[in-house]
Amino acid sequence: MAGSTDDIKTVLAQIAQSQSHLLSAFDSLSHRVDELAQSQSRTSNRPQAKTEESFSIVNGSAPPPATNGLVPVVPSLQSPPLMPQDAGTSTPGPTAAPTSPKSGFTSRIVLTTYPKQIGIKPLPMDWGNPDPKLRGPVTVSRAASTIGKRNAIGAHGGSYSIYYALALASKELKADHKPDFTNTQPAVEIGPFPQWGDKKKIVAMDPWGHSVPWTYGDMIKNENVDLRPTIAITKAHMKLPELEESVRAGRLVPDGKVCLNAGGELAVTKVAVEPVWYLPGVAERFGIDEGTLRRSLFEHTGGMYPELITRGDIKVFLPPIGGLTVYIFGDPAKMSDPNSRLALRIHDECNGSDVFGSDICTCRPYLIFGIEEAVKEAQNGGCGVVIYFRKEGRALGEVTKYLVYNARKRGEDRASDYFKRTENIAGVKDMRFQALMPDILHWLGITKIDRMLSMSNMKHDAIVGQGIPIHERVELPAEWIPADSRVEIDAKITAGYFTAGKKMTEEELKAVQGRMWEDIDH
Ligand SMILES: Nc1nc2c(ncn2[C@@H]2O[C@H](COP(=O)(O)OP(=O)(O)OP(=O)(O)O)[C@@H](O)[C@H]2O)c(=O)[nH]1
Ligand SMILES: [Zn+2]
């Protein structure tokens, strides 16, 4: 048996080696074809293509369009002899191609890059290094001055990167626009905390994301490297109709500092955060290997980021997903003070309820209750924090959510069937993966939570699993629960959500029913 395993291993190694040779040969060949195509277009008087500029494809990923239509062969991260580092040594780098001043695109389409390619020299990135200069700036732009220095895959802005592309394509945005960061610095100082220098504690955001234009200002100015902040910190007032009611009911008392007046207006410090993933750390949180994570991200984004496969040397990825916003009530310095009390609500987006007041779930009520409790904690000398994650419909999206609503309302809408409906349609009941959520708590310097305004066992376990103890869990009071959302809350409690009350029996759960469509129609 042992002999035959060795034989298989040898054959596999031989196949891998010849694939690697083929890849190199393919690289040089496509480069040669590209050169030929270019010199032909220089010598012949062929008319320009219909697009404003003509492109060809380089970097061993595919030959120019009109040639033989070969499919790119890319190495898999999971098979060691085919690590991307082995490939691409002979291909010219992306910086070799001239850039059009009009569109900002290089004249040859850079489908992907390889580690040892000419012109590829990533800026050092030492994730978790406590010194931001030594850690290095997250560099992701494909601007001509920066593309060879990239140490991150993806694009800035999360899902908004697509609008950025549209703005450039439609020439609303100039390709050579340079942001002017004058006066954009954080409105309050947060950190640095020791957690920022722990590569296991923060894996889903850049702890230096708010200081980019200043920490790496020299590089932006002197070396023309295109770097952007991924965090912004500001201050504001906010006004919610329910909080005016809270003041009227005497639950909130204006103090002129946190709750400003009888209208329930609040003073708040806000932090917007875009996702930046350190792939080995993200993989570790999910208990999977980095190769599997990279391959899945590549496949299920329509192959949008080939560098997830070809650039095993780049460990940082800016995913095309929504980020989060932190709302801080009271003195932000108190968040990290172990002697100050902290109330916290972690909230996942539910546009239908949060913004438009749908009564089928408890989202807006819990959000408002969270804000009210956060304000009270701040007024009592502690601090209150509400963190709002863009994870609509448990990260299944609003379309799936509405399909589930239809199935519920066309059925009997019983609490006992609540999660089954979602699972039937989506295959899972939840895709929020709270495993990455506690990063923001580490970033804010939070080391314990006195009052956790949530019943979710998933949020609780993720936070405690990251070494941040929760001293008290506060459930949504019964009087805040809209009638039609009893189905949701009872199903959640039965599925493991926290309650100080008693759990329901299967029979009792069956008896909890939501409003039928017929009732709405009258
Ligand atoms: N797919 C789906 N998502 C829903 C439904 N109802 C609410 N949601 C989503 O569920 C999530 C609720 O998140 P949160 O308000 O943070 O609440 P939670 O994590 O369930 O628990 P708590 O912290 O105890 O409130 C949001 O992303 C909502 O959009 C539903 O019927 N179907
Ligand atoms: Zn909701």
Instruction: Tell me what ipTM this predicted complex has.
Output: 0.96
Element (DSSP H or E) covering residue 296: helix 290-299
Query: Which residues fall within 8 angstroms of residue 176, CB to CB, at 6 or more apart?
Result: 101, 104
Supply the residue whose CA is at minimum distance from atom 24 of ligand 1. Answer: 455
CA dihedral 301, 306, 309, 312 (to 10 degrees): -120
Q: Ligand 1 test: best mutation among 350, 474, 475, most atoms within 8 Å of CB?
A: 350
Question: Per-residue pLDDT for 412 more than 80?
Answer: yes
Q: Ligand 1, residue 394: give the atom nearest the CA.
A: 27
Q: Is 27 helix (H, G, I), strand (E, B) or coil?
A: helix
Q: Around ion ligand 2, which residues have CB less than 5 A away?
A: 350, 353, 361, 363
- Cis omega (within 30 of 0) for bond into 130: no
Question: Per-residue pLDDT for 521 more than 60?
Answer: no
Element (DSSP H or E) covering residue 161: helix 161-169
Task: Encode pLDDT of 373-400 as tens digits.
Answer: 999 999 999 999 999 999 999 999 999 9
Q: How is residue 84 written in tokens?
A: 């991307």
Distance CA 135, CA 118 (A): 24
401 lines ligand 1 (CB under 6 A): yes
Task: Encode pLDDT of 69-116 as tens digits.
Answer: 333 444 444 433 333 443 444 566 777 666 776 667 777 888 999 998
The pTM of the full predicted model, rounded to 2 decimals, is 0.84
Provide the β-strand partners of residue 252: none
Task: Encode pLDDT of 457-503 as tens digits.
Answer: 999 999 999 999 999 999 999 999 988 888 999 999 998 999 988 88
Stretch 153-178: mean pLDDT: 95
Picking from 489, 481, 495, the residue whose alpha carbon sits closest to that of residue 512 is 489
Is 451 an annotated catalytic residue? no
| Catalytic annotation, pick one of 34, 226, 430, 490 | 430
Is 341 an annotated catalytic residue? no
417 lines ligand 1 (CB under 6 A): no
How far does residue 363's CA lie from ligand 1's centre (Å)?
Answer: 7
Query: Which residues fall within 8 angstroms of residue 217, CB to CB, at 6 or more apart?
Result: none
One-letter identity of residue 280: P
285 lines ligand 1 (CB under 6 A): no
User: Look-up: residue for tokens 């960061």?
Assistant: 181
C-alpha torsion sign, points 277, 281, 285, 286? positive
Across 7-11, 329-333, 366-370, 515-519, least confident range? 7-11
Stretch 208-220: mean pLDDT: 98
Q: Ligand 1, residue 400: give the atom nearest the CA.
A: 1
Contact 455/493 with Cβ under 8 angstroms?
yes
The mean of the pLDDT values for the chain is 86
How far does residue 41's CA lie from ligand 2's centre (Å)?
Answer: 58
How far does residue 212's CA lie from ligand 1's centre (Å)?
Answer: 34
139 lines ligand 1 (CB under 6 A): no
φ, ψ (nearest 5 deg) of residue 161: -60, -30
Identify the pLDDT of residue 40.
53
Question: Per-residue pLDDT for 64 more than 60?
Answer: no
First and final CA of the chain: distance in angstroms? 75
Question: Per-residue pLDDT for 520 more than 80?
Answer: no
Q: How is residue 6 written in tokens?
A: 């060795």
Q: Is 328 helix (H, G, I), strand (E, B) or coil?
A: strand
Contact 78/49 with Cβ under 8 angstroms?
no
Identify the pLDDT of residue 105.
74
Question: Per-residue pLDDT for 230 more than 90?
Answer: yes
Q: Ligand 1 test: best mutation among 345, 361, 392, most atoms within 8 Å of CB?
A: 361
Question: Per-residue pLDDT for 19 more than 80?
Answer: no
Task: Encode pLDDT of 175-200 as tens digits.
Answer: 889 999 999 999 999 999 999 999 99
Distance CA 268, CA 388 (A): 14
Q: Is 270 helix (H, G, I), strand (E, B) or coil?
A: strand
Supply the residue whose CA is at minimum distance from atom 5 of ligand 1. Answer: 393
